[in-house]
Structure 1
């Protein structure tokens, strides 16, 4: 074992003990501090961020419940108070319709991650470079755009793409994030062409050599951000939890670390999130208020 690896393991063990102590103390206090209900969509990015926030809130002494929902149901749960917060609002484009419906009954805490992107993604070896070229090359990928869950904002935008570019030979096929990446994996292993709905940050860009297709009609818009949204009244009900959610902010690179951990190992996302939190206490401390 190299000295560098040994040093890293010692550092992690120390941090893990500190985080473990914090989590243990938090458990003892959780009954007093209450339970925070976090809703999320089953995107790799949101699974990563929501579990990290869960681990941080638990370190601060809260109990946390997670609920996986469709995008529409997630925003509805916020507006009715069935969920306390989300860290999964892609704005200003992807979830714009949902925010318009519930905007007066929720509290937008601002961006927790900047520099996101949406679009159609293909393997780098694919000859097609633009969405405008898809219809003429439909046979190369069986006339199918492989999508994710039908309730996702990305799918609504892609339906607009189909209309805007007046596709006659190309159809959008819904599925899930998992079925989309499985189809992408299979196509690349067989050196076949495939078009999928994609977004950044996502672990698939670290695993495979991919490219976004140009969008001359600008249907997907420019760079987006991921916002934290809380229900009305959370600030008054649980000011400490609200403060943590308000302070939570990280980078695509940090999110990518957690997403790769989720894809590369056998551990559950929650366990990976706790490990990342333990290893990155310098970052976590910036999210924790003096009195949380």
Structure 2
């Protein structure tokens, strides 16, 4: 494995500036880009056909000669931290030395394609990272998808009356005629403004654009008080474990289809680390597992984004069969 120096990473960041401009900056907090078209192909592959855990096998007979490995984390993307620290926990128990690097999407794709970072787990396809696959796909190895429900949503408290997004048009009074949003530049905000609001006739609502922390604070405040609330949200997110919320149905598909999240490596890393590669191929996380892990890692009531190692260790104690099933390739069953 090549060690990634600060100088080399600086070069990656500089080399990726144009790619970031062309492909679009990553979204705050790991929410999908939104919008886009219905094309499910990128780099000549139909990414929509992946089933989490495809190609799972028992790793008992695999062993890596090289026990130093680097794992990339997308800055601000909660599921990226969750999956990488899960893998880090398992690999370190197996005697590996694991280095993590936090980068935005453009530098990450560049670094892995160049062989400066070995693996990352947060490729959103077919839409969010389509441009990066078109640019770097021939230098990357796909290790399968581990999650298949990455999507933009409008969510409400679970005991409130609305069932579909369109219900908010006539039930606005039940929700203080307000839809709480996140950052102005987020794909979720653009999709809500440009598609959901006009298609469902929600001009009667005050769409409050603020920030992810502000939206989550309102969600907590309203659900704690037993009041109805409507927010823009996305999966995966720990809010689904922390608060009593559910998604509104979207019969018009205004918020877009669900994406899948894939793991990738460079070609050399895949050859040097067949054990790690298969472990990633075996990984499957459903909404309940992922939301509970992220809640433990990131909510203020738990670790609040501090001490990821301890949070993951605690979660694994609460899910004692997970690692054994993971290594045996049984998570998809």
**Pairing partner for 1:272 from 304, 311, 315:** 311
Cα shift readout 1:241-280 (whole Å, capped 9, x = no counterpart)? 3233233234333334423433453472221213444665
User: Any gaps of 5 or more consecutive residues in structure 1?
Assistant: 1-28
* 1:284 and 2:318 aligned: no
* Cα 1:172/1:241, change in 2 over 3 Å: farther
* Cα 1:63/1:123, change in 2 over 3 Å: same
Cα shift readout 1:219-261 (whole Å, capped 9, x = no counterpart)? 3344443321223432124333323323323433333442343
* 1:131 and 2:170 aligned: no
Any residues of structure 2 matched to 1:195-274 within 5 Å, and which? 195-262=230-297, 263=299, 264-266=301-303, 268-274=307-313
How far does residue 53 in structure 1 lie from its aligned partner after superposition? 1.3
Alignment length, in residue pairs? 258
TM-score in terms of structure 2 length:
0.60
* Cα 1:73/1:136, change in 2 over 3 Å: farther
TM-score in terms of structure 1 length:
0.67
Cα shift readout 1:154-192 (whole Å, capped 9, x = no counterpart)? 45544543576376565472523x443222112333455
* 1:184 and 2:219 aligned: yes
User: Any gaps of 5 or more consecutive residues in structure 2?
Assistant: 1-63, 329-333
Deviates more, 1:141-150 or 1:116-125: 141-150
d(CA) in 2 for partners of 1:134 and 1:235? Answer: 49
3-state SS, counterpart of residue 83 of structure 2: helix
Q: What's 1:46 paired with?
A: 80
How far does residue 52 in structure 1 lie from its aligned partner after superposition? 0.7
How far does residue 126 in structure 1 lie from its aligned partner after superposition? 4.4
Cα shift readout 1:91-134 (whole Å, capped 9, x = no counterpart)? 34554455445433322211213445531112235454433455
Any residues of structure 2 matched to 1:14-93 within 5 Å, and which? 33-71=67-105, 74-93=108-127
* Cα 1:171/1:245, change in 2 over 3 Å: same
- How much is the aligned-residue C-alpha RMSD, in angstroms? 3.8
- Give the structure with the larger helix fraction: 1
* Cα 1:208/1:281, change in 2 over 3 Å: closer
- Cα pair 1:33 1:62 within 8 Å, conserved: yes
Q: What's 1:173 paired with?
A: 209
3-state SS, counterpart of residue 244 of structure 1: helix
3-state SS, counterpart of residue 233 of structure 1: helix
d(CA) in 1 for partners of 2:211 and 2:246? Answer: 21
